[in-house]
Protein backbone atom coordinates (compact mmCIF):
# COMPACT_ATOMS: atom_id res chain seq x y z
CA UNK A 1 0.00 0.00 0.00
CA UNK A 2 1.47 3.37 -1.01
CA UNK A 3 1.80 6.05 1.63
CA UNK A 4 0.26 9.36 0.63
CA UNK A 5 2.29 12.53 0.51
CA UNK A 6 0.35 14.02 3.42
CA UNK A 7 1.06 10.93 5.52
CA UNK A 8 4.78 11.15 4.74
CA UNK A 9 4.83 14.82 5.64
CA UNK A 10 3.08 14.04 8.94
CA UNK A 11 5.49 11.16 9.71
CA UNK A 12 8.51 13.34 8.95
CA UNK A 13 7.08 16.16 11.05
CA UNK A 14 6.61 13.81 14.01
CA UNK A 15 10.35 12.98 13.95
CA UNK A 16 11.38 16.65 14.08
CA UNK A 17 11.89 18.63 17.33
CA UNK A 18 9.05 21.08 16.43
CA UNK A 19 11.05 24.12 17.57
CA UNK A 20 10.45 26.11 14.35
CA UNK A 21 13.95 27.58 14.76
CA UNK A 22 14.54 28.11 11.04
CA UNK A 23 18.12 26.76 11.13
CA UNK A 24 17.14 24.34 8.33
CA UNK A 25 16.37 27.27 6.05
CA UNK A 26 12.59 26.93 6.31
CA UNK A 27 10.17 28.92 8.44
CA UNK A 28 8.89 25.97 10.43
CA UNK A 29 9.35 22.25 10.99
CA UNK A 30 6.17 21.68 8.97
CA UNK A 31 7.60 23.53 5.97
CA UNK A 32 10.83 21.57 6.28
CA UNK A 33 8.89 18.27 6.44
CA UNK A 34 6.98 19.19 3.28
CA UNK A 35 10.21 20.18 1.48
CA UNK A 36 11.83 16.86 2.36
CA UNK A 37 8.76 14.90 1.24
CA UNK A 38 8.75 16.81 -2.06
CA UNK A 39 12.49 16.23 -2.58
CA UNK A 40 13.46 19.89 -2.17
CA UNK A 41 15.50 19.41 1.03
CA UNK A 42 17.89 16.89 2.52
CA UNK A 43 16.55 14.64 5.28
CA UNK A 44 19.57 15.79 7.28
CA UNK A 45 18.60 19.48 7.16
CA UNK A 46 17.41 19.73 10.76
CA UNK A 47 20.21 21.42 12.70
CA UNK A 48 18.51 20.96 16.08
CA UNK A 49 18.55 17.16 15.69
CA UNK A 50 20.59 16.08 12.66
CA UNK A 51 20.26 12.43 13.70
CA UNK A 52 16.57 12.61 12.86
CA UNK A 53 17.73 12.47 9.23
CA UNK A 54 18.33 8.74 9.55
CA UNK A 55 14.72 8.15 10.62
CA UNK A 56 13.47 10.50 7.90
CA UNK A 57 15.45 8.51 5.31
CA UNK A 58 13.64 5.37 6.49
CA UNK A 59 10.28 7.12 6.14
CA UNK A 60 11.25 8.21 2.62
CA UNK A 61 12.39 4.68 1.75
CA UNK A 62 15.99 5.72 1.13
CA UNK A 63 19.12 3.71 1.81
CA UNK A 64 21.25 4.71 4.79
CA UNK A 65 24.46 6.63 4.15
CA UNK A 66 27.72 4.72 4.24
CA UNK A 67 29.31 7.43 6.40
CA UNK A 68 28.17 9.43 9.38
CA UNK A 69 26.39 12.77 9.33
CA UNK A 70 29.51 14.71 10.31
CA UNK A 71 31.35 13.80 7.10
CA UNK A 72 28.79 14.98 4.56
CA UNK A 73 30.04 17.50 2.04
CA UNK A 74 28.51 20.97 2.48
CA UNK A 75 26.26 20.83 -0.59
CA UNK A 76 25.49 17.10 -0.50
CA UNK A 77 21.91 16.29 -1.37
CA UNK A 78 20.92 12.64 -1.03
CA UNK A 79 17.80 13.36 -3.07
CA UNK A 80 19.84 14.41 -6.07
CA UNK A 81 18.53 17.97 -5.83
CA UNK A 82 21.31 20.52 -6.06
CA UNK A 83 20.93 24.26 -5.72
CA UNK A 84 20.85 26.19 -8.96
CA UNK A 85 23.71 28.58 -9.73
CA UNK A 86 21.24 31.47 -9.35
CA UNK A 87 20.18 30.22 -5.90
CA UNK A 88 23.81 29.90 -4.85
CA UNK A 89 24.56 33.44 -6.09
CA UNK A 90 21.62 34.76 -4.08
CA UNK A 91 22.81 32.93 -0.96
CA UNK A 92 26.34 34.29 -1.41
CA UNK A 93 24.95 37.80 -1.96
CA UNK A 94 22.83 37.54 1.21
CA UNK A 95 25.76 36.22 3.25
CA UNK A 96 28.02 38.93 1.87
CA UNK A 97 25.49 41.58 2.86
CA UNK A 98 25.27 40.08 6.36
CA UNK A 99 29.05 40.19 6.72
CA UNK A 100 29.11 43.80 5.48
CA UNK A 101 26.43 44.73 8.03
CA UNK A 102 28.37 43.08 10.86
CA UNK A 103 31.60 44.82 9.84
CA UNK A 104 29.80 48.18 9.69
CA UNK A 105 28.43 47.63 13.21
CA UNK A 106 31.92 46.80 14.46
CA UNK A 107 33.28 50.00 12.91
CA UNK A 108 30.48 52.05 14.56
CA UNK A 109 31.30 50.48 17.92
CA UNK A 110 35.00 51.28 17.45
CA UNK A 111 34.12 54.89 16.60
CA UNK A 112 32.20 55.26 19.89
CA UNK A 113 35.31 54.49 21.92
Q: What is the mean pLDDT of the chain?
A: 81
DSSP conformation class of 4 = P
Query: What's the mean pLDDT in 36-46?
Result: 91
The rounded distance, in Å, linking the Cα atoms of 66 and 69 is 10
Cα four-point dihedral sign 85, 27, 81, 72: positive
* DSSP labels, 48-112: S-TTHHHHHHHHHTPPPPSS-GGG--TT--TTS----HHHHHHHHHHHHHHHHHHHHHHHHHHHH
The residue with greater pLDDT, 91 or 107, is 107
Confidence band of 2 (pLDDT split at 50, 70, 90): very low
pTM of the model: 0.55
Confidence band of 86 (pLDDT split at 50, 70, 90): confident
The rounded distance, in Å, linking the Cα atoms of 46 and 97 is 25
The rounded distance, in Å, linking the Cα atoms of 69 and 58 is 15
pLDDT tens digits, residue range 42-71? 999 999 988 899 999 999 988 655 444 454
Confidence band of 12 (pLDDT split at 50, 70, 90): very high
Amino acid sequence: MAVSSKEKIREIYEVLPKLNCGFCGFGSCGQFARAVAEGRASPFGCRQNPWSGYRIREIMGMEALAYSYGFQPAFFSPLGVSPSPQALREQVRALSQSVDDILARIERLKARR
